[in-house]
Each structure stands twice: as structure tokens, then as C-alpha cells.
Structure 1
Amino acid sequence: MPTAAKLVAALCLAALGFGVSELIKTLMPASTVFGIFSFINAGLGLVLGWIVVGNRSGRGQAAAVGNGITGVVSLVFWGLFIQSVNEMVKQAMKHHYDGPVEAFADVFQIMIDFGQVLLDPLLLSILLLGSLVTGYLSEIAAGRWR
């Protein structure tokens, strides 16, 4: 059932996903081709904000912090996974792997490699701040519009 808390959480995580994706672009080599990278992560934030954070809103301020952090952690995990699978498929099309098991195993190595970019202090602080804002705003929306 649609609620204001779900909508607010979805919009917050979508904005965070898009903004962080744009920041990640500045941390990667200039030769990197991103395509619709930011829009995929924004869409993922929209879905995860609705499902993960929005469903858990309305349980108090302490839970709001945990909800926001859970939402951002899930956004980071699924964003890394989707982008890693995309990269694996690109490499598989170039016949980089000997078989499907090797390709599947490489997804997790690619996730680790991509995840190292996220260890930038500015990026981590934006993710933390975004998680707090997302949780808090969705909690306000849950309390105000029932």
C-alpha cells in the first residue's frame, strides 16, 4: 500500500543514489565509460527506498537511524552487485572467461574492486549523512501523513 513515508524514502534514496554515482564518476579514470550508471543507481534507490526504508518507517526516531543505514547499505550492496554483473557480462562478451563458473566467481572480485572506490572519506560521509536524512525524513512523513 502506498504511503507518504515510502514515497519520501524512495525519493531520498533515489537522489542519494544519483548524487553518489555522479561523485563516483569523478573518482574513476577519465577513460571510464559510464553509460546510464547514475540512472540505474537512482532507480535502484527508488525501489529500495520504497521497499526497505519505507516499509519500516513509523517506529520512532531510534529506528529511523537504523532504517536509513539499512537502506543505504542495501543500496550500496545491490548497486555494486548490478554494476559488477554488468561488467562481467561485458568481459564475457570479449571471451575473457573459460566457463560460466569462472564468470560468476569473478562477479564478487569485481564487486571488491568497485567497492574500494567507495572507501573515499568524502563518499563515506555523504553516504552516512544521506542515510540519516533518509531515515529521519521518512520517519517524519510516517508520523505526519498516515
Structure 2
Amino acid sequence: MPTAAKLIAALCLAILAYGVSELIKTQMPASTAFGVFSIVNAVIGFVCGWAVIGTRAGRGLSAAVSNGFTGTVAMVFWALFAQGTYEMFQRSMDHQYDGVVEAIAAIFELCIKFGENLVNGPVIVSLLVGALVTGYISEIASRHWR
């Protein structure tokens, strides 16, 4: 059932995902073709905000902080998984894998490789602050609009 807290959490996490995606783009080589990278991550952020944070809103401020972190971690996990899977499919079209098992294992290797781009100061600070703000705003929305 749609609620204001779900919508607010979804919008906040989508904005966070888009912003962090744009921040990551600045750290990559100029020749990197990103396509719809930021938009896909924003959609994943919207879904995680709706399903993870929005459904748990209304349990107090301490739970809001936890909900924000949980939703952000879920968003990062699913975004890395989606980008790793997409990259694996691109590589498999070039016949870089000998079999299905090797291709599936490559998804997780690519997730780790892409996750290394998240380990720097501005990205970590953005994710942490975004998690706190998203959890807090969704809690406020849950209190004001029932």
C-alpha cells in the first residue's frame, strides 16, 4: 500500500543514487562510456527506498537511522550486482567466457572490482549522510502523513 513515507524514502534514495553515480563518473577515465548508468542506479535506489526504508518508517528516530543505513547498503548491493551483471553480459557477447559457471563467477568479481570505486572519501561521506537524511526524512513523513 502506498504511503507518504514510502514515496519520500524512494525519492530520497533515488536522488542519492543518482548523485553518487554522478560522483563516481568523475573518478573514472574520460573515455568510459556510461550510458544510462545513473538512471539505472536511481531506479534501483527508488525501489530500495520504497521497499526497504519506506516499509520500516514510523518506528522512531533510532530505527530511522538504522533503516537509512540498511536501505543504502541494499541499494549499493543491488546497484553493484546490476552493473556487474550488465558488464558480464557485454563481455559474454564478445565470447570472453568459456562457460556459464565462469560467467556467473565473473559477476561477483566485477561487483568487487566496481565496489573498489566506492572506497574513497567523497563517495563514503555522501552515502553516509544520504543514509541519515533519507532515514530521518522518511520518519518525519511517516509521522506527519499517515
Shorter-chain TM range is over 0.9
| Cα distance, 1:31 vs structure 2 | 1.1
Counterpart amino acid of 1:20? V
Partner of 1:93: 93
RMSD, aligned α-carbons:
0.4
TM-score, normalization by structure 1: 0.99
Structure 2: give runs of 5+ residues left out of the alignment: none
TM-superposed deviation, 1:94:
0.4
1:76 is aligned to 2:76:
yes
Name structure 1 gaps, 5 residues minimum: none
Q: After superposition, where does 1:1-146 map in structure 2 within 5 Å?
A: 1-146=1-146
Q: Percent identity?
A: 60
SS at match of 1:27: coil
User: Structure 1 residue 143: deviation in Å?
Assistant: 0.5
State the distance in 2 between where 1:24 and 1:74 align: 18
The Cα offsets for residues 13-39 of structure 1, whole Å up to 9 and x where unpaired, read as 000010000001001111111000000
How many residue pairs are counted as aligned between the two chains? Answer: 146
Q: Distance in 2 between matches of 1:44 and 1:108?
A: 18
The one-letter amino acid paired with 1:131 is: A
Regions of 4+ moved over 4 Å: none
